[in-house]
Amino acid sequence: MKNVMVTLCFTAVVVAASAAWAIDIEGTAVVVPVAMHGPGALGTSWRTDLWISNWTMGRQEVTATLYPTSGEPVTTTFDVGSADTVELRDVVLSTFGLANAKGMILLTVDTPMGFQATARIYNVGNPMGEFGQFVPGIAIARLERQAFVAGLAGVDGNRSNFGIANPNDLDVDVTVYVLDSHGDLLHTEEMTVGATSVVQVNDLFAELGVPPQRGLQLDMHTAGGMPIYGYASVVRNDTGDAIFIFGTSPNN
């Protein structure tokens, strides 16, 4: 009996620790910062799959709106049962009916109970197969005015992109501090991101005139305190394989 009690106590501690360190992303308004169907750099061709998960005790009607970087928003709704996950393959084309389009997706429900969303953005342009990255949807209530990313690279066959999604109904002014791996400031970029839109900078080393290197850091801040979803992606030039990095807020 003593061994059983020790095991149960240890399990409880592990579960409690896991819960304490879990990433809390659910809510009633969830942002997927970028989704795409269309061509990219160096022969890549990008697609996006989306999963919407309902962990409440009742059915949820989720409203999904794609805000493309050009063109009008497209909206649809999904009925998601309790403990169900809805899978939407190639969501930009098959669900929203857009080809050669990229933009932020905002998902909402009218109830006080939240849900989760996850996307996979992947390159199908390589004859060796698909190469992709998973992108967590994060509730607006969980986002902050700061988005910090690290580990970006522009050498050894890699390029790096970064983006800022603005889920607010107003434009936001963002200052992007570009730092080397030691925290030394290399470049400052002022950007305005329109309401309910995403701005993405591809190959940031070339675009911002920063010497290619490893370990680059970006610290993105909004001026007015409105939340943003800042992110970055490190992409292999040969395969189009990508690693997604979502922004955190260590100093907010």
Q: What would the pLDDT profile of 94-112 be if each residue is shown by its tens digit? A: 999 999 999 999 999 999 9
Q: Stretch 168-193: mean pLDDT, rounded? A: 97
Average pLDDT, the chain: 90
How much is the pTM?
A: 0.88
Give the other-Cβ count within 10 Å of 190's Cβ.
Answer: 9
Tell me the pLDDT tens digit for each residue of 143-156. Answer: 999 999 999 999 99
Does pLDDT of 20 surpass 80? no
* Cα distances (angstroms) measured from residue 170 to each of 77, 160, 167, 238: 24, 28, 9, 39
Stretch among 14-23, 131-140, 186-195, 239-248 having the lowest mean pLDDT: 14-23
Q: What's the full length of the chain, in residues? A: 252
- Common-topology check for domains 24-141 and 143-252: yes
> What is residue 22's predicted lDDT score, i.e. its pLDDT?
65
Long-range contacts of 86-90 (CB under 8 A, 24+ apart): 86/51, 86/52, 86/62, 87/49, 87/50, 87/51, 88/49, 88/50, 88/51, 88/52, 89/49, 90/37, 90/47, 90/48, 90/49
The gap from C-alpha 119 to its chain's centroid, in whole angstroms, comes to 8
**For the chain, domain boundaries:** 24-141, 143-252
> What is residue 51's predicted lDDT score, i.e. its pLDDT?
98
> What is residue 41's predicted lDDT score, i.e. its pLDDT?
86
Element (H, E) at 14: helix 2-21
Regarding the domain with residue range 24-141, which homologous superfamily does it belong to in the CATH classification? TM1070-like (2.60.290.11)
Tell me the pLDDT tens digit for each residue of 57-98. Answer: 999 999 999 999 999 999 999 999 999 999 999 999 999 999
The structural architecture, per CATH, of the domain 143-252 is Sandwich (2.60)
Contact 215, 151 (CB under 8 A): yes
> What is residue 24's predicted lDDT score, i.e. its pLDDT?
83
C-alpha 217/C-alpha 185 separation (Å) is 9
Does pLDDT of 7 surpass 60? no
C-alpha 192/C-alpha 98 separation (Å) is 25
